[in-house]
Structure 1
Amino acid sequence: WEKTMATVYLCGISAFIACLIGIPIGLMASRSDRVEKVVTPIIDTLQVLPSFCFIIPVVMLFRVGDVTAMIATVAFAVVPAIRYTNHGIRQVPPALIEAAKVSGCTKRQTFLRVQLPLALPEIMLGVNQTILMALAMIIICAMVGTRDLGQEVFIALSKADSGRGIVAGLAIAFIGIVADRLFNAWTAKARARLG
């Protein structure tokens, strides 16, 4: 239970920070083609890098521990928050934006009252993916000294303890499934509200 709560804590904080960084960058990229041209190659590079490549430089700069794991996890999990936010805003039908302009809405009002509400389900999907990527990275970060379920997995591997490994794996899967179902339900409600 303690290690499960440590995993939830590390994953939750990392995903929250990744969303705090990623969603505003995604919003800026959605409103400016120039920003998108700068951001897209960076997030593409982050997405194709193996997860171990995030751990090595962070360990070299900071000491081993939870903060190191969180920094590596944020760098790994920020991509979907940026990508889905940008995509969601850009996918709003131009006809609705034009209707808002004709109705006398300013650019800010159009963004806040038309684009953002319509893109919310897509943004929430990005948050969901950010959480799942953070969870995957937190497990790998057990190599840098975190005391969570990832450590249980590595101990089970080193001792060939299949029972311990299965229990840790099921606990990790349960966290991921609960997070996924909660955000899918929230996204479905947002879509239903928007019609």
Structure 2
Amino acid sequence: MNALAPSILSADFAALGEAVKLVEHAGAPYIHVDVMDGHFVPNITIGAPVAAALRKHINGIMDVHLMIENPDAYLEDFKAAGADILTVHYESTKHIHRTLQAIRKLGMKSGLALNPGTPVEVLECLIDEVDMVLIMSVNPGFGGQSFIPYALEKVKQVKALGERTGRDLLIQVDGGVGLQNVQEVVNAGANVIVAGSAVFGAQDVSATVQEFMKLMNE
């Protein structure tokens, strides 16, 4: 079953616990937590202490996306905060293979994010250490951006790589996905969809989550 991962980046930061409960009750199995440091991306969001506080309100999967420099220094912090999946960017560290191994050694699923300008070919030597591939369909750093169409081709390439190597990958897409294009993204091979403003910016958040899940699994 394909899964929706609402991004709290677009939620009311003064009421994150309520936001999480709302989308989980509506059927979203993942909660996507964007961590930004103002260096790797031009925005600052939250750190491990807020993630730990949020974990108390999450019954499903806490999916933490590190958009930060030197992610290795914070892996243990986010493990302690309760992350189930920890995603780092290929572009954020010189020794990505070691970072992915360290995430798994801590008992979390390892995610690898690729920026729009990073080709799928970089996965060839890393695929055995990756549980989830995150295709960025916008340039990371801000919510509410428009979907980059070439991301669909990258999703297809990741799906083909997983099939060729016998890996049952989670393939996540983040950025510019809404009700109008989510089926196209899923048809390309994605099975976990991140949606921020499309969910939390909707007039009826619960109904929007349910419509996403319906469209993704038709």
Q: Which is helix-richer, 1 or 2?
A: 1
Q: Which is strand-richer, 1 or 2?
A: 2
Give the shorter-chain TM-score range.
under 0.3
Higher Cα Rg, which structure? 1
TM-score by length of 1: 0.28
TM-score by length of 2: 0.25
